[in-house]
């Protein structure tokens, strides 16, 4: 099975092709404005370099959020459109879970973080045993105040690894709640890699799980800035 992974949840994302034997190709994009100009170009490049065609793809996995509103909409729209045109299934996976995969199997509890501004982060916690790829959820993904998460850190099990784009800003502060058993992963190892998105999606697709192409939407965990401003201006 060849699965295309798409991540557009933040300013750094990309596309990847994976199969049962491993990663076929991966293209990381550092996009500060929009993915619309680069996503399909990167996919076309990967397919050509791997001597594959679009109809060799058996399924698509896309990062469903949380993350950038504009970015997530772009990735989900591209994934749904390709699946519809190619007649293949789509799997949505958590951005936080994909970030956590960077330390899967290392016997630590991953605490993936995405900065949500205003002193808040998107966060979850996944406890990985040694050699364990899937892990066990120790804290459900949520939009949470950094101060509140700092209080919860001490109750999380095992050795803690703070990672993800939010860890660059808040990792050291959170680490101070359990300094003797926690560390912050460097920024270049804290990406939501599209290959991790693809691998997680492969597991879902292999078990027969897939999304309804007409119903599937990104998971934002909060109202958009435009919705907040509209609500404030209309007194609701």
Q: What is the predicted pLDDT for the residue at 26?
A: 96
Beta-carbon count within 10 A of 102 CB: 19
Per-residue pLDDT tens digits for 150-171: 999 999 999 999 999 999 999 9
Q: What is the C-alpha end-to-end distance of the chain, expressed in Å?
A: 49
What is the value of pTM for the model shown? 0.91
CA distance 112 to 133: 16
DSSP H helical ranges for the chain: 39-49, 69-86, 95-100, 146-152, 167-175, 194-206, 225-233
Which whole number is the average pLDDT over 55-64? 97
Write b or e for each residue in 184-215: b if 16 or more Cβ atoms lie within 10 A of its Cβ, otherwise e: bbeeeebbbbbbbbbbbbbebbeeeebbeeee
pLDDT at 183 over 90: yes
Per-residue pLDDT tens digits for 109-143: 999 999 998 999 999 999 999 998 889 999 999 99
User: Do 65 and 221 contact (CB within 8 A), yes or no?
Assistant: yes
Q: What is the predicted pLDDT for the residue at 32?
A: 61
pLDDT-based confidence at residue 179 (cuts at 50, 70, 90):
very high
Beta-carbon count within 10 A of 52 CB: 16
User: Do 52 and 32 contact (CB within 8 A), yes or no?
Assistant: no
pLDDT at 233 over 80: no
User: Do 100 and 161 contact (CB within 8 A), yes or no?
Assistant: no
User: Do 72 and 60 contact (CB within 8 A), yes or no?
Assistant: no
Least reliable range by pLDDT among 54-63, 77-86, 187-196, 197-206 = 187-196
CA distance 74 to 92: 14
Q: Computed over its alpha carbons, how large is the radius of gyration of the chain?
A: 18
Q: What is the predicted pLDDT for the residue at 33?
A: 58
Structure tokens at 93: 């996976």
What rounded mean pLDDT belongs to the chain?
A: 91
Of 68, 135, 131, 70, the C-alpha closest to 98 is 135
Sort residue 99 into left (φ over 0), alpha (ψ -120 to 50) or beta. Answer: alpha
Q: What is the predicted pLDDT for the residue at 47?
A: 96
pLDDT at 39 over 60: yes
- Residue that the structure tokens 């990663």 belong to: 23
pLDDT at 209 over 90: yes
Per-residue pLDDT tens digits for 142-152: 999 999 999 99
User: Do 146 and 117 contact (CB within 8 A), yes or no?
Assistant: no
pLDDT at 223 over 50: no
Q: What is the predicted pLDDT for the residue at 35?
A: 74
Q: What is the predicted pLDDT for the residue at 236?
A: 42
φ, ψ at 2 (rounded to 5°): -105, 125
Q: What is the predicted pLDDT for the residue at 11?
A: 85
């Amino acid at each position: 099975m060849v699965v295309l992974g798409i991540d557009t949840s933040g300013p750094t994302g990309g596309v990847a092709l994976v199969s049962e034997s491993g990663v076929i190709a991966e293209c990381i994009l550092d996009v500060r404005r929009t993915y619309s100009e680069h996503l399909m170009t990167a996919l076309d490049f990967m397919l050509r370099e791997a001597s594959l065609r679009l109809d060799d793809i058996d399924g698509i996995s896309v990062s469903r959020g949380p993350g950038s509103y504009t970015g997530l909409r772009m990735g989900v729209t591209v994934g749904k459109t390709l699946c519809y045109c190619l007649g293949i299934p789509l799997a949505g996976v958590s951005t936080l879970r994909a970030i956590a995969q960077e330390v899967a199997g290392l016997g630590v509890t991953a605490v993936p973080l995405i900065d949500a501004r205003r002193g808040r982060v998107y966060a979850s916690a996944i406890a990985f045993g040694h050699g364990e790829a899937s892990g066990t959820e120790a804290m459900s993904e949520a939009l949470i105040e950094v101060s509140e998460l700092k209080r919860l850190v001490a109750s999380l099990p095992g050795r803690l690894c703070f990672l993800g784009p939010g860890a660059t800003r808040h990792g050291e502060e959170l680490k101070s709640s359990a300094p003797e058993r926690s560390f912050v992963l460097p920024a270049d190892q804290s990406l939501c890699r599209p290959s991790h998105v693809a691998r997680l999606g492969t597991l879902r697709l292999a078990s027969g799980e897939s999304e309804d192409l007409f119903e599937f939407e990104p998971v934002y965990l909060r109202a958009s800035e435009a919705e907040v401003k509209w609500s404030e201006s209309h007194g609701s």
